[in-house]
């Protein structure tokens, strides 16, 4: 087991702070992303009410899932915030499907990678959710990598 010293504790505290900032940003951005995704594919249909309800549901679900993930010890995190965000595609997809919006023609690679996304909405990165999340995500990722490397080096 790795020895925990003041520096390690400081690193863990900094990581927790970065994780909280990332979770806050994702939670704030996912709702507007759902609404924009619906609007982008809805054409002339007015799905504002349905998109707003789906956005709130996505905010709650994705926000909670991201907070749960980032609250885990780094060695217990088996997925990424982006993977959880990508799972939110079900929210705008549900609105569009219930409204009868036809699926879009997609690239075969995208179809294989994201079979549950007939409207080609899956974010490629956190930047697709909100450009302000790029730096936050990089800082969190670097801090996580630092904590993991420090632990591994301390276990030798």
Q: What confidence tens digit (pLDDT) does each residue in 131-141 have? A: 999 999 999 99
> What is the rounded distance in angstroms from the CA atom of residue 87 to the CA atom of residue 61?
10
Q: Within its chain, how far is the Cα of 128 from the centroid? A: 10
Q: What is the pLDDT of residue 98?
A: 97
Closest CA to 137 of 113, 129, 107: 129
Q: What is the pLDDT of residue 8?
A: 86
Q: Is residue 47 a contact partner of residue 95, using CB atoms and an 8 Å limit?
A: yes
Q: What is the pLDDT of residue 2?
A: 44
Segment 16-40 shows an average pLDDT of 98
Domain ranges of the chain: 6-154
pLDDT tens digits, one per residue of 38-70: 999 999 999 999 999 999 999 999 999 999 999
Q: What is the pLDDT of residue 7?
A: 83
Compute the radius of gyration of the chain from its Cα atoms.
18
pLDDT tens digits, one per residue of 89-123: 999 999 999 999 999 999 999 999 999 999 999 99
Binned at pLDDT 50, 70 and 90, residue 1 comes out as very low
> What is the rounded distance in angstroms from the CA atom of residue 153 to the CA atom of residue 40?
48
Segment 20-36 shows an average pLDDT of 98
- Work out the end-to-end distance of the chain between its first and last CA atoms, rounded to an integer number of angstroms: 9
């Amino acid at each position: 087991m790795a020895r925990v010293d003041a520096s390690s504790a400081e690193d863990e505290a900094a990581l927790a702070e970065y994780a909280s900032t990332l979770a806050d940003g994702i939670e704030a951005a996912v709702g507007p992303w759902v609404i924009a995704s619906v609007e982008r594919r809805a054409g002339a249909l007015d799905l504002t009410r349905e998109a707003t309800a789906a956005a709130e549901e996505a905010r709650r679900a994705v926000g909670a899932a991201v907070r749960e993930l980032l609250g885990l010890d780094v060695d217990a995190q088996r997925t990424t915030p982006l993977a959880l965000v990508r799972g939110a595609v079900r929210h705008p997809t549900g609105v569009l499907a219930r409204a009868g919006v036809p699926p879009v023609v997609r690239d075969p690679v995208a179809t294989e990678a994201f079979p549950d996304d007939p409207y080609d909405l899956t974010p490629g990165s956190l930047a697709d959710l909100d450009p302000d999340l790029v730096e936050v995500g990089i800082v969190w990722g670097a801090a996580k990598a630092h904590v993991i490397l420090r632990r591994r080096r301390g276990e030798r």
